[in-house]
Structure 1
């Protein structure tokens, strides 16, 4: 398991974003050399966990609980075959393109050590948006991506440090609750009856997903 690529985005003006300022950082490109990783601060204030990576709509993106976005190269390869076009590392707006890691099959609260110092923790899957669809230029992209159910994962920074392409990825903690990224994603998108199954993940779960699950349980058992 390794980090195939580290990808950073710069603020770019595009016609398809719903950001009132008209810019997005979704177009991420691989970079060479070490990149500093640290917790960016609360959502709405903090941006990306990677130094030099632009987050342009902080009310929905960035912040401590979604500081880093990872996508498996294997999932990009599957989409390449379906779409009939190449997808370079960073094509889905991911900060980390991994190889040999089942990202969507990872458990909420699972921790990865990348390189010698950085430790990240899985919090949730990525919810697709209109900007993502515009960036890919594919019809019905939000729906197609959602139906596939392999969203990649957001992670929070547990131990800061530096990472670079080629670093090994090691799973250093794997909870026993069985709540995967794929399950969490389905529960908050296409099958809300699954929401109660997210609760065993507890505080490791992205706070918004945890609040949604608790509200659903209260409504249906209260």
Structure 2
């Protein structure tokens, strides 16, 4: 199957006790955008990011999640998980997002995007879904979706193909980085090969490698 974008999603500002930022607002609830959307190096035009200490910025400009993984959650929870319900800007199909290599480059529409790091679950996500143990369940499932840098600004839209135009030889994937930073610290040394990981993630990795376990 050729990978493509099912939908581009923009935030509906939600005010709730579980919202992450100090004002009690969150942009985790994203809905289908009408028409094409511009992606820039600092984010998706028209999107809202509440807690900027942990979300947004050049290394997290765009968030992609595979509909195949969303369908797994829908089956487990026994309810619909529509596009955007994981807070993703791009809902894809036919794309192995968990298996995407750090530094891999995707052409979507007129934009060039680069895979940077996995998403980490947070209490805002758990509150939005109303699943108290979601952080634990999300961690164990280990299909976190991928954050993307914007290397070339452009527009993206539903039905755009996802064309992988570069894949680094080191082979370190989104899934491996997520597992290394959560439940499988033995994988941490492997992350040293992934030069395109954001510096904040590399520093977290280095701190953990310096800290003895057990």
TM-score by length of structure 1 reads 0.91
Q: For 1:141, which of 129, 134, 156 is the aligned residue?
A: 134
Say if 1:29 and 1:89, in contact at 8 Å, map to a contact too. Answer: yes
2:94 maps to 1:100? yes
Say if 1:90 and 1:97, in contact at 8 Å, map to a contact too. Answer: yes
Q: For 2:26, which of 20, 24, 27 is the aligned residue?
A: 24
Local SS of the residue matching 1:208: helix
Q: Which position in structure 1 is the counterpart of 2:40?
A: 38
Looking at structure 1, the residues matched to 77 and 153 of structure 2 have their Cα atoms a distance apart, in angstroms, of 36
Cα deviation, 1:52-72, whole Å, max 9, x if unaligned, reads 000011111000001110000
Say if 1:4 and 1:96, in contact at 8 Å, map to a contact too. Answer: yes
Cα deviation, 1:18-65, whole Å, max 9, x if unaligned, reads 32110001100011211011111xxxxxxxx11000001111100000
Coordinate RMSD, CA, aligned: 1.1
Mapping of residues 201-216 of structure 1, within 5 Å: 201-202=194-195, 204-216=196-208
Local SS of the residue matching 2:160: coil
Looking at structure 1, the residues matched to 80 and 139 of structure 2 have their Cα atoms a distance apart, in angstroms, of 20
Q: For 1:132, which of 122, 125, 137 is the aligned residue?
A: 125
TM superposition shift of 1:216: 3.3
Q: Which structure 2 residue ranges, 5 or more long, are not aligned?
A: none
Mapping of residues 52-131 of structure 1, within 5 Å: 52-115=46-109, 117-131=110-124
Stretch moving more, 21-30 or 10-19: 10-19
TM-score by length of structure 2 reads 0.95
Q: Which position in structure 2 is the counterpart of 1:43?
A: none
